[in-house]
Amino acid sequence: MRPPYGVVDSDGHINEPEGRLREYIEGPYAQWNKPIKLGSFFDNTIGGRLGTHGPPGFPTPDDWLRAADEGGMETIYLFPTTLLAYSTITDPDYLVALTKAYNNYVSEEWIKHNPRFKSVGLMPMLDVEESINEMRRCVTELGFSGVFVAAVGFGLLGDKKYHPFFAEAEKLGIAVAVHGGHATAENIPYTKFIQRHTIGFPVSNMMQMMHMTYEGVYEKFPGLKVGYLEAGCTWVPYMLDRMDEEWEKRGWFDTPNCKKKPSEYITSGNIFIHAEPGERLIPQVIECMGSNRLMYASDFPHWDHEYPDSLYHIYGREDLTDEQKKAILRDNALEFYEGTKTSS
């Protein structure tokens, strides 16, 4: 059953065609013939038996809109597919060129196609100054709603070198989406895709939440909005208890920039989490941090998406109130991406 209101997708995907993306690359890398193929050797779809991302070129903007109409989706916040693994790129200049190309491609061919599409900008985090410049451009010129930073590949995000980046994001009032991707835990020698897919995404988000909290990011930038995506939400209560316990024992020595219990920062209202529809413990997560910070994500058109059934499942749950369902399916994503955005 469809909800009686427009649903907001906090994390949908496009399959950015390599040929089209190349047309937007500027500077010396425009002549570079290196394939834009990132990620690992794993066959995540088992030869297509578990579904695929669709045929080449799928989805087009119109394909996406037809899918959105099926589930009553009003707004879609777009993320890449191939470039989820952009943090594997080690050439900082190429990374700047490629992220700008992607952001321009999404702006021209998706955002301008239909106002139901919104986007976050890819940030070339190997160069913090360039990332700040690109953040400003994405927000003030392209009209993007936030920025995307890979959960793994750029080190620990609480590092002080990233503080100017977070300062600018706070000033602009935009969303910072920490999103797992193909780069997740590549340095761990998993032997099967199921191993990495099970643990890599939540562990990478745990790692970044822990480091950003302990290193004082949320203390120093209390207005910063951060979302941890693509890993579900039921890891959060465990992580808050764990961080609080460690902080009470060693915080006075190891985390001088974390001035209060870590859980107080995470439940302050500025941290948002992606909720998987089948997670049995969503009511317990709500008890821990409230229902106004959990967001629905379709993950369409990835091989493991369950849209629109995932949407119907949340709306049909009997252990959530109507207000909680509406918050997850619509209101919270709008608050995260649009709530405090400024024009300068």
C-alpha pair distances (Å), 100 with each of 29, 34, 116, 122: 12, 17, 22, 8
CA 215, distance to chain mean position in Å, is 21
Mean pLDDT, residues 31-45 = 66
CA 248, distance to chain mean position in Å, is 30
The pLDDT value recorded for residue 49 is: 63
CA distance 162 to 46: 38
Percent of the chain having pLDDT more than 90? 75
Q: Which CATH architecture has domain 7-338?
A: Alpha-Beta Barrel (3.20)
Instruction: Name the band, by pLDDT with cuts 50, 70 and 90, for residue 344.
Output: very low
Q: Looking at per-residue confidence, does 124 or 27 come out higher? A: 124
CA distance 202 to 7: 25
Spatial CA neighbour of 235 closest among 291, 284, 175, 271: 284
Instruction: Name the band, by pLDDT with cuts 50, 70 and 90, for residue 58.
Output: confident
Sign, CA torsion 166/90/230/241: negative
The pLDDT value recorded for residue 33 is: 74
CA distance 49 to 201: 23
Q: At what angle do helices 193-214 and 235-254 cross, to 10 degrees?
A: 40
Give burial (CB, 10 Å; 0-12/13-18/19+) of 219: middle
Q: What is the DSSP letter of 333?
A: H
Instruction: Name the band, by pLDDT with cuts 50, 70 and 90, for residue 36.
Output: confident
The pLDDT tens digits for 78-128 are: 999 889 889 989 999 999 999 999 999 999 999 999 999 999 999 999 999
The pLDDT value recorded for residue 19 is: 86
Assign 225 to helix, strand or coil: strand
CA distance 224 to 270: 7
Mean pLDDT, residues 278-285 = 96
* Contact yes or no for 166/221 (Cβ under 8 A): yes
Question: Which sequence spans correspond to the domains of the chain?
Answer: 7-338
Number of helices (H) and strands (E) in the chain: give both, helices first.
13, 8
The pLDDT tens digits for 247-270 are: 999 999 999 999 999 999 999 999
Contacts 24+ apart (CB under 8 A), 61-70: 61/109, 61/110, 61/113, 61/114, 61/117, 64/12, 64/14, 64/117, 64/300, 64/301, 65/114, 65/116, 67/300, 67/301, 67/307, 67/308, 68/9, 68/116, 70/308
Q: Is the pTM of this model over 0.85?
A: yes
Per-residue tokens: 305? 């998406």
